[in-house]
Amino acid sequence: METKKEKLDDVLSSFLQVGQIKACAIVSKEGLLISSRTPPDVDARIFSALCSTIMGAAEAASTQMKTGAVGQISLKTEKGTIVLIPAGSKVIFTVLTETGAQIGLILVEMESKAQEVEEILFGT
């Protein structure tokens, strides 16, 4: 029987098949790295900590502005896009895309994978 870690690794590996993805990770909202697929030039622990910080700031802004729960965060940069979506109340599924990536397709796949992550970790 597969462990949770193996199941999460499988989720990330299958997500990479979408293409145009430099890195992806499953991160706790506290910034702890749960699982990742990153190239050598991306430090997965720093990536996870920064993504946690971004999500925390977005949630604080959303609470202050009374706009409801954060459903997605996208940061478009010169060299790609960082996308974060919640995978339950305690976990973030995040991706760093290549420049010009098909964000729509990636978002659809991210939502599906985030649900899988939530089911694996929390049995929902």
Mean pLDDT, residues 75-88 taken together: 95
Write the pLDDT tens digit of every residue in 105-122. Answer: 999 999 999 999 999 999
101 phi and psi, to 5 degrees?
A: -65, 155
According to DSSP, residue 26 is labeled E
Mean pLDDT, residues 65-81 taken together: 95
CA-CA distance, 58 to 52, in Å (whole number)?
A: 10
pLDDT tops 70 at residue 124: no
CA-CA distance, 34 to 102, in Å (whole number)?
A: 26
Axis-axis angle for helices 103-122, 4-16 (nearest 10): 170
Mean pLDDT, residues 6-18 taken together: 96
**pLDDT interval class at 81 (50, 70, 90):** very high
pLDDT for the residue 19: 93
Write the pLDDT tens digit of every residue in 19-64. Answer: 999 999 999 999 999 999 999 998 999 999 999 999 999 999 999 9
pLDDT for the residue 1: 84
**pLDDT interval class at 17 (50, 70, 90):** very high
